């Protein structure tokens, strides 16, 4: 996977993320009739199976062979999952809200976040509006093509497809 990602280009942008926060196996929810907390499973096992932190380490190590390194986006400033480049506003969304609606154009939230990160400004805190506007129509065409392809995969409910 790392080799494939680097084959696409040697400038790899990622959001800063603390994976350890996702590793907590259980979380106390509400009390049951006996006064004990019910435990709700979280991402621990699936996170270990996918190992995103290790993938990023491998990519970073391989990029260093080319004199490059991972470029981390400032998530507190950029907020890709909340930003709308059409009206330049930020709207907080729940994790269950998987789609954005831009005047009838439905766009999967994670794919749109990746599109925004692709168009990050040099300051790594804001988005280049000119690039966003120039590239959106092509992104949307490719987005729809990919959504159509993914609809055949029944294991993608986590991204709302």
Please determine, for residue 39, whether its predicted confidence score (pLDDT) is greater than 90. no
Q: Which residue do the tokens 């994976």 mark?
A: 19
Ramachandran area for residue 26 (φ above 0: left; ψ -120 to 50: alpha; else beta): beta
- Burial code (b: 16+ CB inside 10 Å, e: under 16) for 39-63 equals eeeeeeeebeeeeeeeebebbeebb
Tokens of 132: 């966003």
Angle made by CA atoms 14, 92, 103, in degrees to the nearest 5? 95
pLDDT tens, position by position, 10-30: 899 998 766 555 555 445 555
Highest mean pLDDT among 20-24, 49-53, 107-111: 107-111
d(CA 41, CA 115): 31
Tell me the whole-structure pTM to 2 decimals: 0.74
The more confidently predicted of residues 10 and 133 is 133
Q: What is the mean pLDDT of the chain?
A: 83
Q: In this predicted structure, what is the pLDDT of residue 95?
A: 82
Handedness of CA 111, 115, 121, 122 (dihedral sign): positive
Q: In this predicted structure, what is the pLDDT of residue 27?
A: 53
Please determine, for residue 7, whether its predicted confidence score (pLDDT) is greater than 70. yes
Q: In this predicted structure, what is the pLDDT of residue 143?
A: 97
Share of the chain above pLDDT 70, in %: 74
Please determine, for residue 51, whether its predicted confidence score (pLDDT) is greater than 80. no
Pairing of strands 83-84, 89-90: antiparallel
């Amino acid at each position: 996977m790392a080799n494939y990602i680097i084959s696409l280009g040697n400038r790899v942008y990622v959001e800063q993320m603390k994976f350890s926060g996702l590793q907590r196996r259980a979380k106390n929810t509400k009390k049951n009739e006996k006064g004990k907390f019910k435990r709700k499973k979280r991402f621990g096992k699936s996170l270990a199976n996918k190992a995103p932190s290790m993938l990023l380490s491998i990519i970073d190590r391989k990029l260093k062979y080319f004199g490059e390194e991972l470029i981390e986006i400032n998530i507190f400033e950029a907020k890709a999952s909340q930003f709308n480049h059409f009206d330049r506003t930020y709207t907080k969304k729940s994790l269950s809200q998987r789609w954005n609606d831009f005047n009838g154009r439905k766009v999967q939230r994670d794919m749109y976040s990746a599109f925004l990160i692709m168009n990050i400004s040099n300051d790594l805190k804001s988005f280049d509006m000119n690039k966003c506007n120039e590239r959106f129509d092509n992104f949307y065409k490719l987005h729809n093509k990919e959504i159509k392809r993914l609809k055949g995969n029944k294991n993608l409910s986590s991204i709302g497809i």
